[in-house]
Structure 1
């Protein structure tokens, strides 16, 4: 059954972003209802949202076209999560103090589902102690906030107050809708992305890892209630809310931080593509092209997964393997040698698997046998991996 997301839209120059937010939520399979403040209709017409949601867009509390049930109560009961985006200083002040003078605030007050507020306003309004106090009051009543970004605002000022990115807002909704919390109270340590091994101040050795798989696992673990630490190599991905992210570059850096956090963790997922080799010497200056062939001497990096496998006590460890030939044979060898509890292996030559993409097709290696999974999104796969890791 589809989850219902109610989006409250207030009057802000950022109102247009709510259209994309609603569109993206529908694409993810949510049933979306929209309530607009009267002033918000000066920026976007209600018909725009109705065309997307296939529902009536609500503005007035008392509407001659209402059904017999009281609309704001009906919507409040239907909502699985309620987000106001964008939220002005005015609406934050109203919901903080229980003022219900229009359809949006009346329904918000009547709702018992998780409530999320995504502010968007001038920097001075946002940082004003009154607004900050109102936000604290909202939080004390259990409402959560998707913090705004810093940037150039519509008024021409530069500062904090831009509406959060759409994927950040959807991430907050996904997290609020996660009902089961099997990892609550658990600590999960995850590595993600590539490592970068410097050759000189200009060049480096790395790989094509995007970090998407590791980040998906971190997000899923967080949604399942875990305290998550993510050790991330250089990636072009947004930092996850509610995840303790440590940014590193080299294999040596990653090894240091994985070792530091390892003893306190219950589950470890080694999803990073760590370089196997690093230059023996890093040149202080850029190496110039010469007629004779230049040689770079390499040395092995520390095998982080093998180290963790030897040191584990009660921890459960999941490793990753990407192969191009003898896939299962090589994966099983790695599973045994690294002392893993679970190993996720994929074949780079299989369509939809591997680096950069949003999907993956893997086989899970365990002591009691292998489980081949169908092609799925990395977000879906993340939950499958964590589910299997809890079973071993």
Structure 2
């Protein structure tokens, strides 16, 4: 697979206005020393020309399944297995549907059906096409077969509509490709769910209940999981952090929103719940609560929020194989965290002291203790990125040995 020491990518260019962005992607891949061969669909050729692709890639462009010259020199079977990674960019709704159903009516779909090489897909389409039940079912089918996704992102599209469906930025696609080509991908083929950040529970249209979580540790863990080859869904509460490249990020506000997003991300192999979910919410006022000189402060009736970690940990067919919770405590850290692991039913708890003065909450470093059924393991104070990679290494080691799910 591939040619000698030179890593190679087979790029399948689908139709859609976003196809023009593949030219910049080819240039960037070549800058990284990668060989890029291209299969150009008939629809893709309406937006970019074979000549422009060939000029940037330095390689012939393939498009005709029935070309005798191509078949005698390489053949569609050889082409499908000649690279280290197959990248479909942009992947239209039609192309995803044909991939999911196993159609092979042209060179692109024949290559995709015949390949035993990892496949990365970068979808791009109208928002309603992306959110349509048929497309989402096709995406779920492809994910279950091990196809990796990058994007789509939300934003204004060429059709002047806004929402999810926009092709991921070139930097994000490039990062996903480089991860896909990494020889050290112990979590390749695994699906991971990460929750991060705080939740905001509205009191009225301008006020909310929240906490000081920055989301930095959760985002670092999501990126480390993706770097290890996992297909990651990051469910994030409100943060100022940008969406990490190479994964599906879902932005939510409340605990109830977060639980819904987590359920939609199932099934998965790994769930890491770092989010600082508010324990309570209130029935919010429809208008701003006004303060008057002679009125007492309003009474807020606190209602319990759903317990996301405990819900995901419940035994059943959708329970992730490994569930990791976080316990941010200010006193009796190990005792509270150990009790939390038992009460929630998760497999591991990562405990940390977030007392004022530690600089942990909102800071760049963390000092944690990993608690599992066997006991406690204290880690030194580390950068949150280092904590993330150390945790992911432990996850990979754990998953190398089969573990039965709880009955």
TM bracket (short chain): 0.5 to 0.7
Task: Decide whether aligned partners of structure 1 residues 190 and 288 sit closer, same or farther in structure 2, where only a CA change above 3 A counts.
Answer: same
For residue 204 of structure 1, report the CA deviation from its aligned partner: 1.1
| Secondary structure at the counterpart of residue 338 of structure 1 | helix
Which of 272, 277, 285 pairs up with 2:275? 272
Task: State the Cα deviation string for residues 24-73 of structure 1 (Å, max 9, x = none).
Answer: 8799x8946242649465499448855xxxxx444369xxxxxxx96988
Which position in structure 2 is the counterpart of 1:7?
11
Query: Whose Rg is larger?
Result: 1
User: 1:162 Cα shift?
Assistant: 5.6
Please tell me whether the aligned partners of residues 8 and 85 of structure 1 are also in contact (alpha carbons under 8 angstroms).
yes
Range with bigger deviation, 212-221 or 332-341: 212-221
Structure 1 residues 1-392: aligned runs within 5 Å: 4-9=8-13, 12-19=16-23, 21=25, 31=34, 33-35=36-38, 37=40, 39=45, 42=49, 45-46=52-53, 49=56, 56-59=58-61, 76-87=80-91, 96-97=103-104, 99-100=106-107, 111-118=115-122, 154=158, 164-166=167-169, 180=186, 191-209=195-213, 211=215, 213-214=217-218, 233-234=237-238, 249-250=254-255, 253=256, 269-275=272-278, 283=285, 285-290=287-292, 295=297, 308=310, 318-322=324-328, 331-339=333-341, 341-345=348-352, 355=362, 361-366=366-371, 367-372=375-380, 374-375=382-383, 376=385, 380=389, 383-384=392-393, 386-387=395-396
| CA displacement 1:148-171 (0-9 Å, x = unmatched) | 7898764x5759996532488579
TM-score (structure 1 length as normaliser)? 0.55
Deviations 1:317-356 (A, max 9, x none): 6332457xxx8x75324323424643243769789x754x
Any conservation in 1 of the 2:186–2:396 contact (CA below 8 Å)? no
* Cα pair distance change 1:290/1:374, threshold 3 Å: same
What is the distance in 1 between the residues matched to 2:353 and 2:26? 34
SS at match of 2:275: coil
Q: How far apart are the structure 1 equivalents of 2:284 and 2:386?
A: 39
Give the Cα separation in 1 of the matches to 2:91 and 2:231.
29
Scaled by the length of structure 2, what TM-score is found? Answer: 0.53
Cα offsets for 1:58-114 (capped at 9, x unmatched): 4369xxxxxxx96988875452320121257998889943544xxx78976774313
Structure 1 residues 240, 41: CA separation in 2 closer, same or farther (over 3 Å shift)?
closer
Q: Which stretches in structure 2 are left out of the alignment for 5+ residues?
A: 64-72, 343-347
CA RMSD across the alignment: 6.6
User: Aligned pair count?
Assistant: 352
Q: In the aligned structure 1, how far is the partner of 2:29 from the partner of 2:90?
A: 15
Cα distance in structure 1, aligned partners of 2:200 and 2:174: 31
Q: Cα distance 1:225–1:372, how it changes in 2: closer, same or farther (>3 A)? A: same
Shift of residue 7 of structure 1?
2.4
SS at match of 2:205: coil
Distance 1:122 1:294, change over 3 A: closer
Q: Distance in 1 between matches of 2:352 and 2:390?
A: 12
**Residue 225 of structure 1, CA deviation:** 11
CA distance in 2 between partners of 1:109 and 1:383 (Å): 32
